[in-house]
Amino acid sequence: MRAYDIIIKKRDNIELTKEEITFLVNGYTSGEIKDEQMAAFLMAVMFNDLTKDEIYNLTMAMAHSGEMLDLSGILGKKIDKHSTGGVGDKLTLLVAPIVAACGVPVAKMSGAGLGHTGGTIDKLNALPGYKTEIPFEQFIDLINENGLSIIGQTGEVAPADKKIYALRDTTATVDNIGLIAASVMSKKLASGADSFVLDVKTGEGAFMKKVEDAKKLAKTMIEIAHQNGKKAKALITAMNQPLGFAIGNSLEVKEVLEILERKKEVRDIEEISLELAANMLLLAEKGDIEHCRNLAKEALENKAAYEKFILMIKAQGGSLEMGEAKQKTELASEQEGYITAINAEKIGIAAMMLGAGRKTKEDKIDYTAGIMLSKKVGDYVKKGETILTMHMNNVDIKESTKLAKEAFTIGKEKPEEITLIY
């Protein structure tokens, strides 16, 4: 069997066998198949797509390319949550402690961000001393003791996906439904949870720009879960403007703490977080969906979720003493009217250029850098009024400022309220 022949088959839109896909994945993971051959295969997929069987076989080959984690040492049902990525997406930091406060263990392995979308692990790394890399046995013990632990993905879990994703990111082969589904679900299946709740983003700041494509991706991932005897539910949620007001790692953690401590209310974050948490509780068989919604809301309102979050941070060596950027620049509105749109992708890229994100996996993040919005879609703004503040340390802000300005659309008519959950 040769990679060359497999590439030709995919180029000519002939369905690949399980054996061919497994050969390709294992060969690339071991280094026997080179970047240029895998890149050619990925581009052929972009033009011809993958069949249902090909998606499933690719998922399983990547899942079994490394260690399949055993979470049987954790008491109770293990429900995992995954987001397809967005700007200001700090939802895991709210959802996980809410669910844990309701008595359902949350064993979460999260990744770092790349490009304009942020990663949960980067946000937690903004907490001085927080250990995102701990021995697996300690991870299990912490969950049994506290009901919650969030750590970084280990190199042993789905290493094929890690290597293939890095190549996809540099070869413009990221936004394919089959490849995204296989990437997400290979990690989920290898991580050992019983069930999954999937947050599939759609809109300007998401991989899936159209609701129809987001639904197709969600259904594909649910089918993969079912084929493995796992339960799964998906929510299609909006990424047409940044989630919340904070974009950037320490800024987002501070916003989460304010929400959990009930010092601040942020409609979009809370509404989506509570619905995700309710669906996780539903899969954990805590009652019907209305009862689960009430449980989640109560855990947020009575600060039980806040206490869980603080417990997790302390248990993993973290401190709340996050630093601040040395420089802040306010951006004022150049006209008066209603904010009718905020392009999430442009805001995300602007924050990345300030140091809040990575252009490549090797880039170092400035945890204090980012953007704080002062206004959201539907708000009225006067000429000269601040619409956002940029936080940075010794970087050129000319390009970021230009992008941030372009992100805002202002009109005379108040827009309709944004749909958060489709």
Contacts of 34 (CB under 8 A, 6+ apart): none
Of residues 161, 199, 213, 268, which has the active-site annotation? Answer: 161
Of residues 78, 123, 168, 201, which has the active-site annotation? Answer: 168
What are the two backbone dihedrals, phi and then psi, of residue 341, each rounded to the nearest 5 degrees? -160, 145
Active site residue 183: yes
Retrieve residue 286's tokens. Answer: 């805590």
Paired strand residues for 208: 202
With beta carbons less than 8 A apart as the criterion, state whether 308 and 146 touch: yes
Distance, CA of 104 to CA of 281 (rounded, Å): 7
Active site residue 161: yes
Burial of 259 (0-12, 13-18, 19+ CB in 10 A): buried
Q: Within 10 Å of residue 75's Cβ, how many Cβ atoms?
A: 10
Distance, CA of 168 to CA of 188 (rounded, Å): 19
Of residues 78, 82, 108, 163, which has the active-site annotation? Answer: 82
Q: Are strands 79-83 and 195-202 parallel, antiparallel or unpaired?
A: parallel
What are the two backbone dihedrals, phi and then psi, of residue 13, each rounded to the nearest 5 degrees? 60, 40
Provide the residue type at 399 as one letter.
E
What are the start-end ranges of the E strands in 118-186?
148-152
Active site residue 168: yes
Backbone dihedral region for residue 355 (phi beyond 0: left; psi -120 to 50: alpha; all else: beta):
left
Distance, CA of 421 to CA of 19 (rounded, Å): 40
Contacts of 27 (CB under 8 A, 6+ apart): 3, 33
Of residues 83, 110, 183, 333, which has the active-site annotation? Answer: 183
Angle between helices 249-260 and 304-315 (to 10 degrees): 140
Of residues 78, 163, 187, 254, which has the active-site annotation? Answer: 187
What is the enclosing helix (H) or strand (E) of 367? none
Distance, CA of 19 to CA of 10 (rounded, Å): 14
Distance, CA of 114 to CA of 174 (rounded, Å): 12
Distance, CA of 50 to CA of 41 (rounded, Å): 11
Active site (catalytic) residues: 82, 161, 168, 183, 187
